[in-house]
């Protein structure tokens, strides 16, 4: 019997070192609290911070935005692929395929140097929102919309998706959500990316694997389940009874609880303000009222509090974004964190190869086939 320590799900296990992010004493990116960044910075600034280690000055930011904007284009074969995908293909599945395909067209694909990985990271930061918007429109029989060079990430994505200028309030809400989703230490998708590139694989392989990990409802897919819960609850009048009945049936209420945050997720509190304001503008505050009641029951009965997915799902719904886009939006934010971790892993690499606690049969001898009854 092995004497190695074991923690199911690797809970509490330190699996590596990072200078990118910590969840100790609240979430911070490279030393800046996420609340401070959400209040004072744009997502473009935060993406630069994650990739380059420091917040940019005005000249650095202008050059970074220009480089990303110039890379907002896809190889033509990728649009042909989107058109050929089966109609049931989800936006996240198509994005996973798109990132893998983009690796074939990147001139730095085989170069794992620090500078080349940063160049590829910037291109993926630019290409992922384009891939999401283009595939979504093609699947609906609409023409893709050309990217705008004069817009930041949040504004350009909304413009490409809708072919209409978003309001400043929508841009700000989307921008804050991207900041809050950008990075979260050794979460499942980030760790998957680090494991992949620790073999000296490439960034496109790592990000493709990360998107695969993000797909699961216990990770990124949770934000897509939020409106299912609210719609099932039916509204404020029925919310408390519905929640208590769901708990009695031992159903999992998605959007609550977190492996790391036991007393609540600071990101959820920040985004809740934007979700309610978007709901007010949309004339749909009943879902915010419903959410408040569900939150109260979950706190009282289970001592569980909302995570970021809870207000994010409501915000995107109030912005009239279709549910299958919610997790891809998570990905177009988290690419900044994923890429930063890929660069960090490869800059000081050691193959990630944990051990397993064996629970199988004791040693035994294999009999020849003729002797096995």
- pLDDT at residue number 274: 97
Distance CA 278, CA 227 (A): 15
Distance CA 86, CA 368 (A): 48
**Which among 288, 283, 315 is positioned nearest to 178, based on CA atoms?**
315
The answer to whether residues 187 and 219 touch, using CB atoms and an 8 Å cutoff, is yes
The CA distances from residue 194 to 55, 269, 284, in Å, are: 24, 29, 41
pTM for the whole thing? 0.93
The reply to whether 222-318 shares the fold of 19-217+332-347 is: no
pLDDT level of residue 1 (50, 70, 90 thresholds): low
Query: Length of the chain in residues, anyone?
Result: 373
Q: List the single range of 25-34, 107-116, 253-262 with lowest mean pLDDT.
A: 253-262
**What is the residue-averaged pLDDT of the chain?**
94
Distance CA 219, CA 15 (A): 19
Q: List the single range of 184-188, 202-206, 215-219, 271-275 with lowest mean pLDDT.
A: 215-219
pLDDT level of residue 262 (50, 70, 90 thresholds): low
Tell whether the model's pLDDT for residue 11 goes beyond 90: no
The CA distances from residue 34 to 38, 177, 180, 286, in Å, are: 6, 11, 7, 29
- pLDDT at residue number 258: 67
In CATH terms, is domain 19-217+332-347 a member of 3.40.30.10?
Answer: no
The catalytic site residues sit at 258, 309
- Strand order across the beta sheet in which 28-29 lies: 21-22, 28-29, 32-33
Quick one: tokens of 68? 């990303």
Summarised one tens digit per residue, pLDDT across range 125-135 is 999 999 999 99
- pLDDT at residue number 2: 58
In the chain, domain spans? 19-217+332-347, 222-318
Give the angle subtended at the CA of 82 by the CAs of 197 and 219, to the nearest 5°: 45
Fold (topology level) of 222-318:
Cytochrome p450-Terp; domain 2 (1.10.230)
- DSSP for 152-164 reads -HHHHHHHHHHTS
Distance CA 360, CA 373 (A): 22
Summarised one tens digit per residue, pLDDT across range 39-73 is 999 999 999 999 999 999 999 999 999 999 999 99
């Amino acid at each position: 019997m092995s004497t190695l320590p074991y923690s199911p799900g690797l809970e509490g296990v330190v699996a590596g070192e990072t200078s990118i992010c910590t969840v100790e004493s609240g979430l911070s990116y490279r030393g800046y609290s996420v609340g401070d960044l959400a209040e004072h910075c744009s997502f473009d600034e935060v993406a630069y911070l994650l990739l380059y280690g420091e917040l940019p000055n005005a000249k650095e930011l202008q050059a970074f935005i220009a480089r990303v904007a110039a890379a907002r284009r896809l190889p033509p074969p990728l649009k042909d692929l989107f058109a050929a995908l089966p109609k049931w293909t989800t936006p996240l599945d198509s994005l996973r395929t798109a990132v893998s395909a983009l690796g074939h067209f990147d001139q730095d694909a085989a170069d794992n140097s620090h500078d080349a990985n940063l160049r590829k990271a910037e291109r993926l930061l630019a290409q992922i929102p384009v891939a999401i918007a283009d595939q979504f429109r093609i699947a609906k029989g609409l023409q893709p919309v050309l990217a705008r060079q004069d817009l930041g990430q949040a504004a350009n994505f909304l413009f490409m998706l809708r072919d209409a200028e978003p309001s400043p309030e929508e841009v700000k809400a989307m921008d804050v959500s991207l900041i809050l989703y950008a990075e979260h230490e050794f979460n499942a998708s980030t760790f998957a990316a680090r494991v992949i590139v620790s073999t000296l694989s490439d960034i496109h392989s790592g990000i493709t694997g990360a998107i695969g990990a993000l797909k699961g409802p216990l990770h990124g897919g949770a934000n897509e389940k939020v409106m299912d819960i609210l719609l099932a609850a039916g509204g404020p009048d029925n919310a408390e009874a519905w929640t208590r009945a769901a708990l009695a049936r031992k159903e999992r209420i998605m959007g609550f609880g977190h492996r790391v945050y036991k007393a609540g997720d600071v990101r959820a509190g920040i985004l809740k303000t934007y979700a309610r304001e978007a709901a007010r503008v949309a004339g749909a505050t009943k879902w915010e009222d419903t959410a408040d009641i569900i939150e109260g029951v979950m706190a009282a009965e289970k001592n569980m509090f909302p995570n970021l997915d809870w207000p994010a799902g409501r915000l995107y719904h109030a912005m009239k974004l279709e549910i299958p886009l919610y997790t891809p939006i998570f990905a177009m934010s988290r690419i900044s964190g994923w890429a930063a971790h890929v660069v960090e892993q490869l800059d000081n690499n050691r193959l990630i190869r944990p051990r397993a606690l064996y629970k199988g049969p004791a040693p035994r001898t294999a009999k020849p086939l003729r002797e096995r009854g």
